[in-house]
Structure 1
Amino acid sequence: MTTRDPRWTDEDRDWMLALAVYRSWLCPKCGGLLEECTSHADTGPTFQVSKIRCRRTDALITEQEANTLPNPEALLWAWAAQARM
């Protein structure tokens, strides 16, 4: 008879349980704590929103929109960073 060590130790399982509990406290929309970002619309806090642009994604979308090759769904896109000079 062969005896094997379990893939997950008791400590591993405890950590995964703790992670699951922590994630259950997070808002699925913004990733913030549910108790901070959800409340009644009239009595809750207000938030200031700011935005920045992911230039990598912007470049990808620009290239995809300019694509004229046949079967565009078959194309694989890759990132190529260029150094600034």
Structure 2
Amino acid sequence: METPTSAEKSSTNEPAVTMIALPSEPVIPVPIPISSPFQSLAPLTIKLDRTNYPYWKSQVLPALRAYDLEGYILGTKLCPPQFVDNTIGGSVPGESR
């Protein structure tokens, strides 16, 4: 059997009302940090050389494929522009209107 809370111990069977204090100053949202898709990958701690290329490749290629980045390495996808014009009325390269 449930134990009544202090708000429910009133003499009537009315539902309990919880009061919430509103902040007097506007709430400023916390910016979300930009995350890299490689944060979830284990770092490669080996230095690429002539003797370990097959092992290195076996570690790197699945990551590139998982994040759809292989085309940039192979040259089948164009790299995005380094800078984007975000002024009012400015064009954004690569964006179709």
Asked whether the two chains share a fold, i.e. TM above 0.5, the reply is: no
TM-score by length of 2: 0.19
Task: Provide TM-score, normalisation by structure 1.
Answer: 0.20
Whichever of the two has the greater Rg, that structure is 2
Determine which structure has the larger helix proportion and give its number: 1
